[in-house]
Amino acid sequence: MNISAQYFDWAASAPQNPEIAAEALDIAQKYAANPSSVHKAGIEAREKLEEARKRCADVLNVKPECLVFTSGGTESNHIPLVSLLQKPIKGSIVISAIEHAAVREQALALRHCGRRIITADCGKDGIVSADEVLKKCEGDTEMVCIMAVNNETGAIQPVYKIADALASLKGRRPKLHVDAVQAAGKIPFDFSYTGIDSAAVSAHKIYGCRGIGLLYTASRTESFLKGGGQEGGMRSGTENLFGIWSLMRCLETCAEKTACTAALEAQKEKTAFFIGALQKIPGCTIIPEARAAFPDLYSPWIVQASFKGIPGEVAVRALSERGFYISTGSACSARKNKRPVLSAMKIDEETARNSVRFSFGSMQTHKDIEALIEAVREVNALFGQKI
């Protein structure tokens, strides 16, 4: 794979695997007919699409009929939320304070449709507890949205504990939706865990192409958006066989249990080395500060840090000029210059303003990370506040 050793913004988007892209293009060209067409070419395209669905299901250990192909992580997060509009009940929706904008902003938009949006707070460690979620649930709560891995801090949320806690509620159990975009193919995640009603996946976070995603649904619900009825009526529109095949092959490459675990363990070692080196840089603060003491609570693929006296945008530009590419956080929020996740963690304004995100890919080596550390030291020496 031809991947830049100096690209450290994988949480925003991963470079495509060229072999998988070439294979997907070949499939899309060979089976070019509309999968909904009833002629032989259409039937053959449909068979290939369903083969991809089954292979995705095999990797994720779920039933093929539980998987819906979408245009990406954002749409996969939107469908369960917007589907609530099919019901006359106007109950509350609980979302965590650290959700990606795809969940947070869509949930807030549902206020205009009569839903009450309740926020479950996180601790200073960036983690939302099951007790906090239960505390915010009400008798009419329709849905709870909790991401599996935070896209800015890498904090792994206790999704299984939250699912178990919701199951203990008396009366109607709220549905649990999980944004698994930063989990699928990066850390072991059990989509079939009892109590997880839906979960979102995006291809371009795991070496796939942009514009394709996956929605896991434990049971089908009626979609609010209507059309030709493709994907079991959950997501109308002619299916993107190129993207679907790309997503399937990326899941087979990254999310297969043995491969995922091996890559995770290798990255844990590299990230521990990286964090240890950052902590020795004057004025550097790891976010959250307790992360080094509890590494297993965080995905090793994402590290957030702040450098005293260096605004995040300055650090990003200075490193970019040296050929190293990082971000100030979620690419979806970068232009708005807002850090709601850090605010929810009670990070002080200056530290939040100076924070940046480093995110990694499995192809990067210790040597690549050492080069990044040296560049960070250089930028800190030039722009950082002298301690």
Whole-angstrom distance, CA of residue 382 vs CA of residue 387: 13
The stretch 28-34 carries a mean pLDDT of 96
93-148 pLDDT, tens digit each: 999 999 999 999 999 999 988 899 999 999 999 999 999 999 999 999 999 999 99
Residue 323 corresponds to which tokens in the numbers above?
A: 């050929």
The stretch 297-319 carries a mean pLDDT of 97
Whole-angstrom distance, CA of residue 253 vs CA of residue 269: 21
Whole-angstrom distance, CA of residue 198 vs CA of residue 180: 10
| 215, 197 Cβ separation under 8 angstroms | no
Q: Grade residue 3 by pLDDT with cuts at 50, 70 and 90.
A: low
238-279 pLDDT, tens digit each: 999 999 999 999 999 999 999 999 999 999 999 999 999 999
**Separation in Å, CA 5 to CA 8, 131, 243, 269:** 8, 42, 26, 18
Does 6 score more than 50 pLDDT? yes
| 86, 224 Cβ separation under 8 angstroms | yes
Whole-angstrom distance, CA of residue 240 vs CA of residue 376: 41
Write down the H helix ranges in 31-168. Answer: 40-60, 73-83, 101-109, 130-136, 159-167
Residue 160 corresponds to which tokens in the numbers above?
A: 């299984």
Burial of 241 (0-12, 13-18, 19+ CB in 10 A): buried
163-209 pLDDT, tens digit each: 999 999 988 899 999 999 999 999 999 999 999 999 999 999 999 99
The stretch 144-155 carries a mean pLDDT of 98
Does 333 score more than 80 pLDDT? no
Q: Grade residue 34 by pLDDT with cuts at 50, 70 and 90.
A: very high
Does 232 score more than 90 pLDDT? no
> Which one, of 208, 114, 130, lies nearest residue 165 by Cα?
130
Number of H helices, E strands in the chain: 12, 10
| 122, 98 Cβ separation under 8 angstroms | yes
> Which one, of 76, 51, 54, lies nearest residue 65 by Cα?
54
Burial of 342 (0-12, 13-18, 19+ CB in 10 A): buried
The stretch 299-310 carries a mean pLDDT of 97
**Lowest-confidence segment of 84-88, 101-105, 342-346 by average pLDDT:** 84-88
